[in-house]
Chains A and B, each alone.
Chain A
């Protein structure tokens, strides 16, 4: 891919107009860190989104609103009760890349190894796409396939609404890589809600070890409504881990990734359980 022109709009309206006019030759430019991997001679005109705003984190009722142009480094440095994306950001590639990549760029086009689709699925976030009207897409809809199917020409992802982790709710996260900055071989995230000792709700999502980030609903169903314990978690995983088609890569066999998933699913579920009952995680 080759950029032949560069535009720097300063309003959402201007950016939308440019992208509409440019059609397929227009390229919304976020952090640009994935461009090194875009081969071929396609000529594109960049529309830089960095000057539109939409680059702040703020609290809203029940959680946080994150502008789509917010850098991963800003997620890393933000701290507030109920905020967990700082932990996720810290495992994202390396500091220069965290300083460049935006959360919107990480979820506008979904690759199997992307970190944030997994986490936003587990947390039950909402994605806001702004076009002629503002559309709110729950994560379950947004990540059902490539998000491009939800965008009309000129539409832009502008905001992500992330629920806060509140008392009684726990979050668990694990990303497996060969070296710290490598693409993920397996990403897992869990949000678990306890009602006394019963599992009132659980959302489990995986990425990298499966074709595209998705929720692991068979395992969720095996846990829902049951009393929380190590045995409950182990029984649910033993019964349902093979309901998922695990996928190897980068030297990992399918069977190895399946075993990795079995082990780390138990870890992240226990982590979320401990956090839900007021532990350290």
Chain B
């Protein structure tokens, strides 16, 4: 069957099988940022935005995305001109091995797209599902708090630590 979608702002088409997962097809389409870690929706490293929502592309059939709008981290910044989320992560030293970062960044983008100044709690809820085995999350949280504060939210309105237990 033929899959047609908007990928990172460009219309793309590709022949797929019904059983193909979106993660595999995105990699075939050149999005090497999409990593498959667990293949069961636990790690988040395959996270992409499908119609504005963060999803596990390893669980999503490519056919389900037919006609949809898919965004991967390739669309939102470069080494020379990083997205504010990417710049904040680098500034805070929040990136170590980097495997989780494409999913983490896209999950964060899904929050900031709706609310430029989310609370810590809101970020924790929406980043639940993005595992990082290097940083312990503190620096990631600091970086994203800095993005929220840069958007103008007063310190007092930034909420307490989210519960990731």
List residues of A whose CB falls within 8 A of some B CB: 2-6, 8, 29, 32-33, 35-37, 45-46, 48, 50, 73, 90, 93-97, 99-100, 179-181
Contact call A3/B66, Cβ cutoff below 8 A: no
Option from B64, B66, B126, B163 in Cβ contact (under 8 Å) with A95: B126
Contact call A94/B18, Cβ cutoff below 8 A: no
A96-B55 contact, Cβ under 8 Å, with A6-B63, A180-B164: yes
Contact call A6/B128, Cβ cutoff below 8 A: no
Instruction: Considering the complex, give the chain B residue whose CB is closest to the CB of A177.
Output: B165
Tell me the bound Cα distance from A48 to B42 in angstroms.
23
Instruction: Considering the complex, give the chain B residue whose CB is closest to the CB of A179.
Output: B165
In the complex, B107 has a CB within 8 A of chain A:
yes
B39 to chain A, nearest CB (A): 6
Q: Is the interface of A mostly helix, strand, loop or mixed?
A: mixed
Residues from chain B with Cβ under 8 Å of A48 in the complex: 63-64
Contact call B61/A97, Cβ cutoff below 8 A: no
A181-B125 contact, Cβ under 8 Å, with A35-B59, A99-B53, A100-B56: no
Tell me the bound Cα distance from A95 to B17 in angstroms.
27
Contact call A36/B18, Cβ cutoff below 8 A: no
Contact call B40/A96, Cβ cutoff below 8 A: no
Tell me the bound Cα distance from A246 to B160 in angstroms.
37
Tell me the bound Cα distance from A196 to B87 in angstroms.
59
Contact call A46/B40, Cβ cutoff below 8 A: no
Contact call A94/B19, Cβ cutoff below 8 A: no
A32-B60 contact, Cβ under 8 Å, with A4-B19, A37-B40, A96-B44: yes
Chain B 1-17 interface 0/1 with A at a Cβ cutoff of 8 Å (1 = within): 10000000000000001
Residues from chain A with Cβ under 8 Å of B125 in the complex: 90, 95
Residues from chain A with Cβ under 8 Å of B40 in the complex: 36-37
Tell me the bound Cα distance from A45 to B63 in angstroms.
12
Tell me the bound Cα distance from A29 to B164 in angstroms.
31
Number of A-B contacts (CB under 8 A): 82
Contact call A100/B55, Cβ cutoff below 8 A: yes
Q: Is the interface of B mostly helix, strand, loop or mixed?
A: loop
Tell me the bound Cα distance from A99 to B111 in angstroms.
13
In the complex, B127 has a CB within 8 A of chain A:
yes
Contact call B107/A96, Cβ cutoff below 8 A: yes
Residues from chain B with Cβ under 8 Å of A6 in the complex: 1, 18, 61, 63
Contact call B129/A73, Cβ cutoff below 8 A: no
Tell me the bound Cα distance from A90 to B15 in angstroms.
37
Contact call B41/A36, Cβ cutoff below 8 A: yes
Contact call A46/B61, Cβ cutoff below 8 A: yes
A122 to chain B, nearest CB (A): 24
A131 to chain B, nearest CB (A): 25
A95-B107 contact, Cβ under 8 Å, with A3-B18, A5-B18: yes
B51 to chain A, nearest CB (A): 10
Tell me the bound Cα distance from A73 to B40 in angstroms.
19
Residues of B105-140 contacting chain A, CB below 8 A: 107, 125-129
Option from A2, A3, A46, A181 in Cβ contact (under 8 Å) with B128: A181
Tell me the bound Cα distance from A35 to B63 in angstroms.
14
B108 to chain A, nearest CB (A): 11
Residues from chain B with Cβ under 8 Å of A45 in the complex: 18
B164 to chain A, nearest CB (A): 6
In the complex, B88 has a CB within 8 A of chain A:
no
Option from B63, B66, B129, B163 in Cβ contact (under 8 Å) with A96: B129
A3-B59 contact, Cβ under 8 Å, with A8-B66, A90-B125, A95-B128: no
Tell me the bound Cα distance from A95 to B121 in angstroms.
13
